[in-house]
Structure 1
Amino acid sequence: MFDKLKENEELWDLFTRKEEYSVTFRDAYERFPYYLSSHRNIFEPRVSKFLVENGLKPQYPDGKKFAVCLTHDIDAIYPDKLYPIVGPVKALSRGKLAEAVKAPFSRVNRKWNPCWNFREILALEAKYNAKSSFYFLALTSEETDFNYNIKDLETELGFISDSGWEVGLHGGHESYNSLEDIKEKKRRLEEVLGKKVVGYRNHYLRFRVPDTWELLSKAGFKYDTTFGYSDCAGFRNGMCHPYRPFNLNEGRQIDILEIPLVIMDRSLLKDYMRLNVKKAWECTKHLINTVEKYNGVITILWHNNMCIDGENLRYYEKVLEYCAEKNAWITSGEEIYNWWTSKIEPGN
């Protein structure tokens, strides 16, 4: 694959993200944002298109044409401190009396906590014959964005894993740039889960090309699915297929599989692109249809606190329904990794 790509300098530079090797400016979270990229046609996977035209022919279980890598970042399991006050007002405005009664006690009663919704998410996905990956933080109480102690989630982690869904690591703010931090958080999560974790995504999508891939490989991860833009949906390096990254500094492939992120809920609807539901759905459909066209893998990130009753949950189910109607293989990052490395990589 690399030899063929190298023949096309423009696509090789895009695939390897050459422009990110000499960055003079990053955003507030030390990320390389889409608005600084010279690659403007982000909604078309130009590199994957080239590879398909030159012989890449992925196949998926049961003859499915494309795959959906379905994922959730678990940033918080306890509502915001203002939720017990604001929650009842919002619930009453929607005519949800029972929810309004529960909201004031949501931070002390798990049964009434809308963010403690892992089993509800599993049930919804099972309805569409789908599975997913849950990436959990393993922070200490002194770290930025600490919201929960991973040790308190042993039962839930076990239930998710035993049900056939995946538990992976959601690295902390500084993990993307620290091997020691990545290893320590991996150890904490594995200690609670009781088995090795293979999948990773960094908090706030913080990432440094090619350094973060190298650190994750050294830490023992098999795949990463951080690599997408926070400020725009689409194909960051023109790929809609999993791939082994290439380190331009050392002239070699990195021993980790990247399953690139394409759609994040907050990119579309909340913090960045700020699309209304109609425009967001047009964008989502285009990206799904495009990945189907090239027999690719589309990675979708939907946070657990965006899977609470309301418009965001309805949107998420609409995505599941649309992909299921297209007969996509909707599954976890771990299953994508296992299939790609055993069935597709050996032949390419």
Structure 2
Amino acid sequence: MIGVYLQNEEERESAAEFFELFKTPWEFYRGGESYDVLLSTGECPPLLGEKLVILYGSGPFLFDSNHGLTVDSLRGGCIVHDGYLDVPLYGEAATFPASDTPLLKVKGSGRSAALVFNTGPRKVLRIGYNLFGEIRHLLTMGQPPEHATIPSLDHHIALLRKWILCAGIPVMEIPPAPAGSDFMVCLTHDVDFAAIRNHRLDHTLAGFLHRALVGTTIDFLKGRSRWRKVVTNWKAAFQLPAVYTGVMKDPWTQYAEYLKIEKGMKSTFYFIPFRDSPGNGKSPARRSCRYDISDVSAWTAPILSQGGEIGLHGIDAWNDVSKGKEELERIRQATGTNEVGVRMHWLYFGPESPRILEQAGFLYDSTWGYNDAVGFRAGTGQPFRPSGARRLLELPLIIQDTALFYKGRMGLDEDRALELCRAVIDKARRFGGVLVVNWHHRSLAPERLWGEFYRKLLGEIGKKRVLFVTAREAVDWFQERRSAVFVRNGAGVRVSVHGNGRPSRLALRVYDPRSIYVDSDVLHRVSGRTAEVSMARNALWGSYN
């Protein structure tokens, strides 16, 4: 059991959310109780036999002066590492005099950012940053694009787990993936454009013609595109009159092709609720869409019959409760589903959005991601409860097609894009959570023609131990995981789970420090076994001593 002693009450929300993501036995410190591990963001309370004490914070603490420890410098915006994992820090961090065996070093300087002290029967780790301050930053502000590929929050979890094990203390954990899988995958599609024939002499049509005729040709001459793509785009441009007259099929109506590609995988489509509405405030006119969900009512049954999900591609829901309720009702009427998720059009989001979306009645939001990068804005692929919400979960967006390929964003060629996606997929495999992919509805069609790459991406994902789910299914699974409670039971810990009536796919994993060693952030079995036990719906007993 981990006891958590906080310096101030402002850290309570972040601490509680951290231990929903690192699902291990813990509680806020209670005087008179003994813990295997005491984690403190301030001075130490009275100790009763703890084997490991971890002091997080820039300090200075009384412990520092008692042990002749001086703070070399305080700095923000640095990266620390343990030889394997990089961890960007966004708050104030203390560095200490050089040590022969530091737990963490500041990258690029060699200064120590974490030290270990053996004080009689226990180990004390002095960590030069506030863990829960870092978690609060990641889940409210997020990481800048330059750190997008680093799952920083997952690295914080991995370091804490490693430090506990290295102190000879077992770790019990409900991993962030269903039993039998390393991670989950949500394939999602924002439907900004339902058909090109909806656009006549507007900026969308002009942009299409320019990119199809001029942009693709220039890319070919620069070696960035193949001749086949040039021919396909030119052909599509010159066939537009036949499309507008109904002689030829609309090339931008691609939902049926997605259902073929993703057969057996499931996916989530996000639809616009009202046409020709850019949104309130200062939203530019070009944010409006030339369709709404009533125009694509024929799509609903095929998507749902394949196990898919339909959610809202919101316009004003992010900043207006009443507008959010109106937009939500449009999706409910179209699908007959009461619980609906949302992703905002153009990823509009603000500090009050979680509270507003929850009050409007949404089950989850999946806006938290990048328009101009690929990776982990929150430092994790796990759904989390954003500040201001009590029930709503945020399902982070990880990979987005337009971020990869659009000029003015990352502008990658397909080889570099695939290399980047492979790296992100590998991190999802290592740390669990949900790999959320957004491949826009029109991206299979001219002038984008990103369908071949999408098939390659699905092939790369399919090589791993993954479970394909809709966004709502992923959120439901993590809600069940969040319902699990660890309770003291003598020398052991009782794990109780409030299920939904269906067989649970949660697992209980116990790491024995005598049978594993730590290499990078991966725990390998040397001898003995790491126990992973499927949990019953109501309760499971496990020892932790």
Q: Please show how residues 290-309 of structure 1 align to structure 2 within 5 Å.
A: 290-308=427-445
What is the aligned partner in structure 2 of residue 185 from structure 1? 327
Which residue identity does 1:317 align to in structure 2? Answer: R
The alignment status of 1:155 with 2:298, answered yes or no, reads yes
1:113-152 maps to which residues of 2 (within 5 A)? Answer: 113-126=250-263, 129-143=264-278, 144=285, 145-152=288-295
In structure 1, what is the Cα distance between the partners aligned to 2:322 and 2:242? 38
| Contact in 1 for aligned 2:331/2:340 (Cα 8 Å) | no
Corresponding residue of 1:70: 187
Matching of residue 2 in structure 1 with residue 15 in structure 2: yes
What per-residue deviation string (whole Å, max 9, x for no partner) do you get for residues 175-215 of structure 1?
Answer: 31111111111112222223324211001011112x11111
Residue of structure 1 equivalent to 2:309? 166
Per-residue displacement from partner, 1:122-180 (whole Å, max 9, x unpaired)?
A: 11011xx31111000112435441211321211212221232100000001x3311111
- Alpha-carbon RMSD: 3.0
CA, structure 1 residues 68+95, in 2 after alignment: closer, same or farther (shift >3 Å)?
closer
Larger relative contact order, structure 1 or 2 (CA cutoff 8 Å, min sep 6): 1
Instruction: Determine the structure 1 residue equivalent to 2:531.
Output: none
Q: Report the equivalent of 1:346.
A: 483
Q: Distance in 2 between matches of 1:2 and 1:102?
A: 58
Give the equivalent residue in structure 2 for 1:323: 461
Residue type matched to 2:373 in 1? Answer: C
CA distance in 2, matches of 1:4, 1:142: 36
2:332 and 2:340 in contact (8 A); partners too? no
Query: Which position in structure 2 is the counterpart of 1:244?
Result: 385
Structure 1's 85 and 276: CA in aligned 2 closer, same or farther, altered over 3 A? Answer: closer
Q: Which runs of 5+ in 1 are unaligned?
A: 22-31, 248-252
Structure number having the greater strand percentage:
2
Q: Do the aligned partners of residues 140 and 260 (structure 1) sit closer, same or farther apart at CA in structure 2, a change above 3 Å counting? A: same
Which residue number corresponds to residue 371 of structure 2? 230
Q: What's the CA shift for 1:311?
A: 4.4
1:26: which partner in 2?
Answer: none
The answer (yes or no) to whether the contact 2:400–2:439 under 8 Å persists in 1 is yes
1:118 Cα offset (Å): 0.8
**Conserved? CA contact 2:385–2:391, under 8 Å:** yes
Q: Evaluate the alpha carbon distance shift between residue 197 and residue 107 of structure 1 in structure 2; reply closer, same or farther with a 3 A threshold.
A: farther
- Pick from 6, 10, 16: which aligns with 2:136? 16
**Consecutive unaligned residues in structure 2, runs of 5 or more:** 1-13, 19-39, 42-55, 57-128, 162-172, 217-227, 279-284, 486-545
Task: Measure the CA separation in 2 of the matches of 1:160 and 1:218.
Answer: 28
Question: What is the SS of the residue equivalent to 2:367?
Answer: coil
Query: How far, CA to CA, are the matches of 1:324 and 1:116 in structure 2?
Result: 26
- Once the two structures are TM-superposed, the CA of residue 326 in structure 1 deviates from its matched residue by 1.2
- Other structure's SS at 2:269 match: strand
Classify 1:307/1:95 alpha carbon distance in 2 versus 1 (closer, same or farther; 3 Å): closer
SS for the counterpart of 1:244 is coil
Q: Give the whole-Å Cα distance in 2 for the aligned partners of 1:338 and 1:59.
A: 12
1:48 corresponds to 2:154: yes
Distance 1:138 1:272 in 2: 27
Aligned residues: 323
User: 1:138·1:189 contact (CA, 8 Å) conserved in 2?
Assistant: yes
With the length of structure 2 as denominator, give the TM-score of the two structures.
0.54
Residue type at the aligned position of 1:75: D
Larger helix fraction of residues: 1
- Identical positions, percent: 26
**SS class of match (1:130):** coil
- 8 Å CA contact 2:271–2:292 kept in 1: the answer is no
In 1, Cα distance between equivalents of 2:382 and 2:357: 19
Q: SS at the partner of 2:411?
A: coil
- TM-score calculated relative to the size of structure 1: 0.82
Candidates 388, 394, 397, aligned match of 1:258: 394
Cα distance in 2 between the residues matched to 1:71 and 1:279: 22
CA distance, structure 1, for counterparts of residue 245 and residue 469 of structure 2: 33
Asked if 1:312 is matched to 2:450, the reply is: yes
- Structure 1 residues 88 and 257: CA distance shift in structure 2, 3 A: closer
